[in-house]
Amino acid sequence: MREYELEVLEQYEIEVKGTRKIRGAFFCEAKEGTMLLKEADVSDRRAPLLYTVLHNLEEEGCFHVDTPIFNKEGNLISESRDGSRYMLKKWYSGRECDVKREYEILQACRNLAELHSKMKWKAIKDTKGMHPPVGRHLREEFLSHNRELKKVRTFMRNRVSKGAFEFLLLEYFQQMYTLAERVTKRLEESEYDNLYQKSIENQSLVHGDYNYHNILFTQKGIATTNFEHFRVDVQVQDLYYFLRKVMEKYQWQENLGKAMLDAYQSVRPLDSGELEYIALCLAYPEKFWKTANTYYHSNKAWIPEKNVKKLQMTIAQTEERLRFLENIFTFIL
């Protein structure tokens, strides 16, 4: 551990026994337990909100989460000599959810449903007048993505020198853009707006980045980590995201997708509006937009071969994804 990080640990009332570096952070074995020190990616204003949510989940008695730890000055963010900002969090000895093990994926779905059943800001005591951030309306997000896609196409068309990536994206652009527009129109006719407004009224919270990297299997049970992107939003946004990440690795295998939905619903049943919301999110060509948007904001002088392959895979899986939606959600555009 660098001298700066050691100095940061001295700002806490803990007895450090040892440290070791991992990807972008440091494990700390202390007398008080296992902890993780990493550069803070939340603001000073947001940190107390994060602590309040996670401390409340801990108080429920059945959740293992990475609650931030206060330093000697009573702050959740500590600074090193070079001005870097750090957060020390509780951590757990275990391993990440193995996406190759279906039973772990299903356990993660049930864990998410249990979290959602307790993640209500209005149910938390002593919020001290704090208010969590509210997620963006999905219609605004889709319309923004659609505009960005058109901007990328215009840029590519005007570019004199085109490579394999540009030719491939332009070849399939109209197909993907038409799909994006159809999904956006279908969203406007759906129950989504009522679902969104209800989530705000109930102050329902989402994890914001629920994926297998943030789910640890430990001897004490499942630990859920990295809630930094939490907000008030439609809770099944988390389920959509986790489902999509897994299905992309399983080539949209219907049996597993249905089992994931069933596992979640065994704890927290979904209504028709929530199921439609998941289907709409899955139908939108988000990976195509993301790949195009990344290209637009990158150095275009050289496009890595992996980006071309990623785009090819995104296009190839579109038909599989739409078939999945039709068979699992009876969702047809």
Torsion angle of alpha carbons 285, 291, 293, 298, nearest 10°?
180
Residue 118 lies in a domain: no
Q: What percent of the chain has pLDDT over 90?
A: 82
pLDDT tens digits along 303-332: 778 889 999 999 999 999 999 999 999 988
CATH number at residue 46: 3.30.200.20
Residue 58 lies in a domain: yes
Q: Report the alpha-carbon distance of residue 23 to residue 18 in Å, rounded.
A: 17
Containing domain of residue 324, as a range? 138-329
Do 157 and 286 belong together in one domain? Answer: yes
pLDDT tens digits along 247-294: 999 999 999 999 999 999 999 999 999 999 999 999 999 999 999 999
Which parts of 46-118 fold into alpha helices (H)?
47-59, 102-118
Do 323 and 252 belong together in one domain? Answer: yes
Q: Please check the confidence at residue 162 and state whether its pLDDT lies above 70.
A: yes
- pLDDT at residue number 305: 83
Q: How far is CA 136 from CA 20, 142, 194, 216, 297, in A?
A: 38, 10, 14, 29, 22
Residue 189 lies in a domain: yes
Please name the residues in contact with 211: beta carbons below 8 A apart, sequence gap of 6 or more. 241, 242, 245
pLDDT tens digits along 165-216: 999 999 999 999 999 999 999 999 999 999 999 999 999 999 999 999 999 9
Confidence of residue 333 (pLDDT cuts 50, 70, 90): confident
Question: Residue 172: what residue type?
Answer: Y
Q: Report the alpha-carbon distance of residue 251 to residue 188 in Å, rounded.
A: 29
The residues pairing with 33 across neighbouring beta strands, listed in sequence order, are 30
Do 62 and 166 belong together in one domain? Answer: no
Q: How many domains does the chain have?
A: 2
Confidence of residue 19 (pLDDT cuts 50, 70, 90): confident
Q: Please check the confidence at residue 144 and state whether its pLDDT lies above 90.
A: yes
Do 177 and 275 belong together in one domain? Answer: yes
Do 213 and 301 belong together in one domain? Answer: yes
From 76, 91, 106, give the residue that closes a domain: 91
Do 87 and 142 belong together in one domain? Answer: no
DSSP conformation letters of 168-203: HHHHHHHHHHHHHHHHHHHHHTSSHHHHHHHHHHHT
pTM given for the model: 0.95
pLDDT tens digits along 204-240: 999 999 999 999 999 989 999 999 999 999 999 999 9
